[in-house]
Chain A
Amino acid sequence: MSITLAELCIVACAEAFRTSREIIATGIGPIPRLGAGLAKLTHSPGLLMTDGEAFLVEQPVPLGATGDERPMPAGYLPFSRFFDSAVWSGRRHAMVTPTQIDRFGQTNLSALGGTHTRPKVQMLGARGFPGNGIYHPNSMFIPAHSTRVFVPGEVDRVSSPGYNPARRIPGGNYTGIDLRRIVTNLCVMDFGGPDHAIRVISLHPGVGVAEVQEATGFELIDAVEGETVLPGEDQLALIARLDPRGIRSRVLKDNPPAEGRLQ
């Protein structure tokens, strides 16, 4: 069976989580969650993960696992102490999928268009994004790279802070803002440009910079060092173990092979 683009993205997400620290890894959605689990089981054993509810587990919970397939708890991290333990202490790295992202890395999960009192489209609300963004490292996974997500100008509502100098007030402490990677169906990006500008650092097989730029509403820096690395056999085996029901195959449109564009 050929390696899928979803699996390539999982490995890229795992790379985003790479750390020598003992911090909570939170991957929201199947691909980021599998990436966090893969990171923990390979290069970053210090990562802590929850079972999706209140308990810390030393073996990542396989997607869709029930009953005996669920690992026993090793620790306790309920929501009731999440802000003390994980978020406001900076001991966490979250990977999320916001609805909009702008060139400053500001994201929107709140609402689209209209006014604050009457939005055109009401979404979830800011959730924990404002706190996550000001206190701990964050990355993003975007399954369909487009100008609807990577918007020109600013996001409609700023739910999480980025590197926008116009939104800084004198005396505020912004040192916790630490945006790491954006993994999409086309490429991997980081915030390594001047003033944290967004750069493309690797392209998935068969994707060109021009295509990525075309699908992005702001200017990107070309810092491509090569193709995004394909998963190795060991990584594929771990991914299959963490996702025995193949939920990863439903995330990207048509579940393309990683090297499908080369054929």
Chain B
Amino acid sequence: MLTIDKTMDAAAVVSRLRSGMTLGIGGWGPRRKPMALVREILRSDLTDLTLVSYGGPEVGMLCAAGKVKKLVFAFVSLDEIPLEPWFRKSREAGAIEVLELDEGMFQWGLKAAAYSVPFLPTRVGLGTDLVELGELKTVTSPYGDGEVLVAMPALKLDAALIHVHRADRRGNVQALGPDTYYDEWFAKAADECFVSCEELVDAMEVSYPQDVMANLFERCFVTGVSEAPGGAHPTTMPPSYGWDMGWLKKYAAAAKDPGDWSAVAEWTVGASEADYLASVGGQEGVAALPLPVF
């Protein structure tokens, strides 16, 4: 029988990406971010990217490193550190273009892309600055009510990057934890979706059939699978590990002093993922990070 094997290392994932692409990044703020893949982008010469993200540290890092042309966002936050300082610096320097959206409009745009329609209507945005600043258009209901709604354009992604707990070689994923945010819709809005995982198994039906309900999206949406234990660090990946707030505080403080990305890229990105992981306590150190309490 012919078999499917989608495994590739992070460098192979990044080699499939191109400068100028629109990249969706799963997770939410400092939660469930595909940071190992983001670090690999930071080690590459990719540039001119349009990021679509419920923004966390990956946005600040990619902006600071000069990789970002445009950001589609509703917020960028490190949660306990509400304002992402590297993102702020980029914005206050006028270094990036933005499309600022509401959190709900954002997922609506992903869903429009997933459903292959050019837009989805919503009341969200009415009465705010988002419509004019984002050059969003309105649409009139063709039915008797005649309601005028904002036409939220599809957020079509060239590629999506998502971090999950488990994947098998064929691209069957399992995303554990209390909340997977909009990862499903990033996967479905993208032409290609690359998944990094805490644990790679040969066959999900052999290793974890009891957790099949955690299969957040079907393997037909998965282009590549990359094993990356600790791959969400420094963001939280429940139930496996919590965020590394010490790391995030140091990263945030570095935006002021020394304030220069080249001075912090080495420890925030590392020469290789193995180096990076070792620098934050290895797989065991990451696994020992306590889950945050809300």
12 contacts between A and B (CB under 8 A): A70-B293, A80-B184, A110-B100, A118-B93, A119-B91, A126-B101, A126-B102, A127-B75, A130-B128, A157-B129, A158-B129, A173-B126
Closest to A77 in B: B179
Contacts of B178 in A (CB 8 A): 53-55, 78
Contacts of A126 in B (CB 8 A): 74-75, 100-102, 128, 130
By size class, the interface of chain B is 35 or more
Q: In the complex the two chains form, what is the Cα distance from A113 to B34 in whole Å?
A: 33
B interface residues with partner A (beta carbon < 8 Å): 28, 55, 73-77, 82-83, 87-88, 91-94, 97-98, 100-105, 107-108, 122-130, 133, 138, 140, 146-149, 178-182, 184, 293-294
> Among the listed A51, A80, A167, A172, which residue makes an inter-chain contact with B294, where contact means beta carbons less than 8 Å apart?
A51
A interface residues with partner B (beta carbon < 8 Å): 51-55, 61, 64-66, 70, 78-80, 83, 87-88, 106, 110-111, 114-131, 133-135, 157-162, 164, 167-174, 176-177
Do A159 and B140 touch across chains, with their CB atoms under 8 A apart? no
Do B127 and A133 touch across chains, with their CB atoms under 8 A apart? yes
Q: In the complex the two chains form, what is the Cα distance from A124 to B293 in whole Å?
A: 21
Do A54 and B179 touch across chains, with their CB atoms under 8 A apart? yes
Do B126 and A159 touch across chains, with their CB atoms under 8 A apart? no
Q: In the complex the two chains form, what is the Cα distance from A57 to B105 in whole Å?
A: 27
Do B127 and A162 touch across chains, with their CB atoms under 8 A apart? yes
Asked, given contacts A126-B128, A169-B138, A173-B123, whether A83 binds B104 with beta carbons under 8 Å apart, the answer is: yes
Do B127 and A173 touch across chains, with their CB atoms under 8 A apart? no
Do A122 and B88 touch across chains, with their CB atoms under 8 A apart? yes
Do A172 and B102 touch across chains, with their CB atoms under 8 A apart? no
Q: How many A-B residue pairs have CB under 8 A?
A: 148
Closest to B55 in A: A125
Q: In the complex the two chains form, what is the Cα distance from A61 to B83 in whole Å?
A: 25
Do A53 and B179 touch across chains, with their CB atoms under 8 A apart? yes
Do B179 and A78 touch across chains, with their CB atoms under 8 A apart? yes
Q: In the complex the two chains form, what is the Cα distance from A53 to B76 in whole Å?
A: 18
Closest to A109 in B: B75
Q: How far is the CB of B54 from chain A (nearest CB, A)?
A: 9
- Beyond A52-B294, A127-B102, A135-B124, 17 additional contacts (C-beta under 8 Å) are A80-B182, A115-B94, A122-B87, A122-B92, A123-B83, A124-B75, A126-B75, A127-B74, A127-B103, A130-B104, A130-B127, A131-B124, A133-B128, A157-B129, A158-B128, A172-B147, A174-B126
Contacts of A54 in B (CB 8 A): 178-179
By secondary structure, the A interface counts as loop
Asked, given contacts A126-B74, A128-B104, whether A159 binds B128 with beta carbons under 8 Å apart, the answer is: yes
Do B140 and A117 touch across chains, with their CB atoms under 8 A apart? no
Contacts of B149 in A (CB 8 A): 172
Q: In the complex the two chains form, what is the Cα distance from A160 to B125 in whole Å?
A: 8
Do A64 and B104 touch across chains, with their CB atoms under 8 A apart? no
Q: In the complex the two chains form, what is the Cα distance from A202 to B180 in whole Å?
A: 43
Q: In the complex the two chains form, what is the Cα distance from A83 to B54 in whole Å?
A: 15
Q: In the complex the two chains form, what is the Cα distance from A111 to B88 in whole Å?
A: 10
Do B75 and A87 touch across chains, with their CB atoms under 8 A apart? no
Closest to B238 in A: A53
Asked, given contacts A54-B178, A167-B127, whether A130 binds B105 with beta carbons under 8 Å apart, the answer is: yes
Q: How far is the CB of B112 from chain A (nearest CB, A)?
A: 14
Q: How far is the CB of B207 from chain A (nearest CB, A)?
A: 25
Q: In the complex the two chains form, what is the Cα distance from A177 to B128 in whole Å?
A: 12
> Among the listed A65, A114, A118, A130, which residue makes an inter-chain contact with B130, where contact means beta carbons less than 8 Å apart?
A130
Q: In the complex the two chains form, what is the Cα distance from A170 to B107 in whole Å?
A: 26
Q: In the complex the two chains form, what is the Cα distance from A52 to B80 in whole Å?
A: 13
Closest to A61 in B: B294
Closest to A76 in B: B178
Closest 5 CB pairs of A and B: A161-B127, A52-B294, A118-B94, A171-B148, A122-B91
Do B180 and A78 touch across chains, with their CB atoms under 8 A apart? yes
Do A88 and B179 touch across chains, with their CB atoms under 8 A apart? no
Contacts of B77 in A (CB 8 A): 124
Q: Which of A64, A119, A129, A131 has the most CB of B within 10 A?
A: A131
